[in-house]
Homo-oligomer: A and B are copies of this chain.
């Protein structure tokens, strides 16, 4: 077992020993979803005040609405949520490269066969944080499948821990 796995298993033992919320329902009690980045510096439950069982938390590289389309459709059509908050953040890794750079990194790290596997992969990077929040919200709002859903966009500041409203 790696040290990462040991930390995971040992930490979980402690969590489970004090766990008292085994009867929560599958559908989110507060009927919303948060879409944010996988970035290690974000703890959504703590930073966004999410009670256990209250909300879906979707996380991917860059908090991309396009990459999360399946998740959002499931959240709203199968599990009854009616609101989505898209929360991107300062200092996002997805601001630091583009498709060409991503593919080069793979080729350099893992070789030609790996490069072949990602040759059509859209990394969905972006260059302007605030614009991308707006664009993602707009894109999602343009979908018929989002009819009646409240969609807002926010930026989390990794230096201060503060969120601010964008759109």
A contacts, CB < 8 Å to B: 2, 4-5, 7-16, 19, 21-24, 26-34, 38-43, 45-50, 52-61, 67-71, 73-79, 83, 85, 91, 93-94, 96-97, 102, 105-106, 109-111, 113-114, 116-118, 121-124, 143-145, 147-148, 150, 152, 154, 158-163, 165
| CB pair A53 B41 closer than 8 Å | yes
Expressed in whole angstroms, the Cα–Cα distance for A57 and B159 within the complex equals 19
| CB pair A43 B38 closer than 8 Å | no
- Which residues of B sit under 8 angstroms from A55, Cβ to Cβ? 4, 40
| CB pair A15 B161 closer than 8 Å | yes
30 A-B pairs with C-beta separation under 8 A: A2-B83, A7-B30, A9-B165, A12-B47, A12-B48, A12-B161, A16-B47, A16-B163, A19-B160, A19-B162, A22-B161, A24-B40, A26-B91, A26-B93, A29-B40, A38-B59, A40-B54, A40-B56, A43-B50, A43-B52, A57-B59, A60-B60, A60-B68, A61-B70, A73-B102, A73-B118, A74-B94, A77-B105, A116-B144, A117-B144
Least distance between A147 CB and chain B CB atoms (Å): 5
Q: Which residue from B57, B61, B76 sits with its C-beta under 8 Å from A71?
A: B61
